[in-house]
Amino acid sequence: MKLLHMNKKVVLMDWGLTDYQEAWDRQEKLFEGIVAQKTANRKNNVETPTDNYMIFTEHPHVYTLGKSGKVENLLLDKSGLEEKHASYHHINRGGDITYHGPGQIVGYPILDLDNYFTDIHLYLRTLEEAIIRTLDDFGLKGERYTGFTGVWLDTKDPIRARKICAMGVRASRWVTMHGFALNVNTDLSYFGHIVPCGIDDKGVTSMQKELGSALETNQVKSAITKHLADLFGMEIIK
C-alpha cells in the first residue's frame, strides 16, 4: 500500500564501534517497530507516518554469512577464528560471506520503501550509486559489475577487477535492513580467510589502499549521507 502521506525524514544515527550481535538486535528492534506500525495502519485503516533510519557503525572483526551463502566459504575453523579475534554469524540478509572490521564504514538503512519506491532492484542500484558518487568525491572511479552486487573498481579488466563495497539487504513488507560495507581504512588481510561473497577469482580493496593514505571516516560518512539524501529525496534528521 503506497502511503498518501509519505515520510521522507530519515533519522541519522552513528553507533560507533558496535558488537555485531548488538547491532543486529538493535536493527531488528527498529525494523520490527516500522513493520508493526504498518500492520496497525492496515488494520485500523489509518496512515500514521512510518519512521526511517540511517545507521552508521563499525564492527570488531566479524564474518557474516547470508541466507544463500555456503559455510565452506569461511576458511577458518573455531580455533582460527579465536586466533584472529574474530566472530562468525549466520544471518538473514541476502548474499554470501563477507567480513566486517575496524576501518570499514557499515551502513544500515532501515527504510519503509513505501515512503520512496517499492522496487528492491532499484533500491540496491540506488545504494550502489550513492557509493559510486562518494568514491568520485575522493578521486576514485567506482563502478557496477554486471552479474554482481556492490561497487567495484576496474571492471573492464577481469584480472584487475576488485570490490571496494559489499552489499546485502533484507526486506519485508517493503521495510529494509542490513545494507552496505565500504572498505575505507580496512585491514584487508582478513578477507584472505574467506571466499569473499562467494567469488574466488576477484580481489578486494579499500580507499586507503587505492589512495595511498588513511582517510577521515567522518568525511566519508558525510559524503555518503549527502548522496543518499539526494538520490532518495531524504530529509536527514540528526
Lowest mean pLDDT of 130-134, 179-183, 199-203, name the range: 199-203
User: What's the mean per-residue pLDDT of the chain?
Assistant: 93
Given the residues 62, 153, 197, 220, the one annotated as active site = 197
Pick the CATH number of 9-237 from 3.30.930.10, 3.40.720.10, 3.40.50.970, 1.20.1560.10: 3.30.930.10
Predicted local confidence at residue 199, as pLDDT = 62
Secondary structure of the chain in HEC code, one letter for each residue:
CCCCCCCCEEEEEEEEECCHHHHHHHHHHHHHHHHHHHHHHHHHCCCCCCCCEEEEEECCCEEEECCCCCHHHECCCHHHHHHCCCEEEECCCCCCEEEECCCEEEEEEECEHHHCCCCHHHHHHHHHHHHHHHHHHCCCCCECCCCCCCEEECCCCCCCCEEEEEEEEEEECCEEEEEEEEECCCCHHHHHHECHHHCCCCEECCHHHHHCCCCCHHHHHHHHHHHHHHHHCCEEEC
- With 70 as the cut, is the pLDDT of residue 49 above it? yes
Q: What is the mean pLDDT of residues 147-153?
A: 93
- pLDDT-derived band at 110, boundaries 50, 70, 90: very high
How far apart (Å, rounded) are the C-alpha atoms in residues 47 and 150?
Answer: 34
The question of whether 197 is a catalytic residue gets the answer yes
Question: Residue 145 has which C-alpha cell?
Answer: 559489475
How far apart (Å, rounded) are the C-alpha atoms in residues 109 and 178?
Answer: 7
- Domain segments of the chain as ranges: 9-237
Predicted local confidence at residue 3, as pLDDT = 52
- With 90 as the cut, is the pLDDT of residue 195 above it? no
Predicted local confidence at residue 136, as pLDDT = 98
- With 60 as the cut, is the pLDDT of residue 4 above it? no
| pTM for this model (two decimals) | 0.94
